[in-house]
């Protein structure tokens, strides 16, 4: 399982970041956990590069709910992920999340597939 992040500058230059996650077979890994892992990986990469304002385009319903601040964690584990995102959010002067259709997110999906070779 992995995450693929594509950072695009205001001048349309692209930087690709891939992170592979190797969970144990006994770990219960839901799609939401994978989404959060990818989201956090992308925020950490952007922060490490000194980015201060960020717009995140994602095809996940989780991101839509998060951006609307309507996401309520189902358990302590998911609450910890949400807290991790909130903590990273404070590193930016501005952060906006936008939902895009999966068909319009093919490049990021392709990067994610390349990261998923564990």
Q: What is the pLDDT of residues 36-62, one digit of tens each?
A: 888 888 899 999 999 999 988 887 877
Confidence of residue 67 (pLDDT cuts 50, 70, 90): low
Q: How is domain 2-115 classified at the architecture level of CATH?
A: 2-Layer Sandwich (3.30)
What residue segments make up the domains of the chain, in order of their start? 2-115
C-alpha–C-alpha distance, residues 84 and 91, integer Å: 12
pLDDT of residue 88: 93
pLDDT of residue 39: 86
Q: What is the pLDDT of residues 75-101, one digit of tens each?
A: 888 888 888 888 999 999 998 888 888
Contact 20, 116 (CB under 8 A): yes
Confidence of residue 21 (pLDDT cuts 50, 70, 90): confident
C-alpha–C-alpha distance, residues 46 and 88, integer Å: 10
Over the Cα atoms of the chain, what is R_g? Answer: 14
Does the pLDDT at position 116 exceed 70? no
Better-predicted residue by pLDDT, 111 or 48:
48
């Amino acid at each position: 399982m992995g995450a693929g992040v594509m950072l695009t500058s205001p001048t349309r230059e692209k930087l690709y970041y891939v992170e592979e996650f190797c969970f144990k077979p006994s770990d219960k890994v839901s799609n939401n956990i994978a989404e959060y892992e990818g989201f956090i990986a992308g925020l950490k990469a952007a922060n490490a590069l000194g980015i201060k304002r960020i717009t995140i385009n994602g095809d996940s319903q989780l991101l839509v709910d998060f951006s609307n601040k309507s996401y309520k964690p189902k358990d302590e584990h998911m609450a910890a992920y949400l807290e991790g995102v909130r903590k990273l959010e404070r590193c930016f002067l501005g952060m906006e999340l936008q939902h895009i259709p999966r068909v319009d997110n093919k490049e990021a999906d392709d990067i994610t597939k390349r990261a998923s070779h564990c």
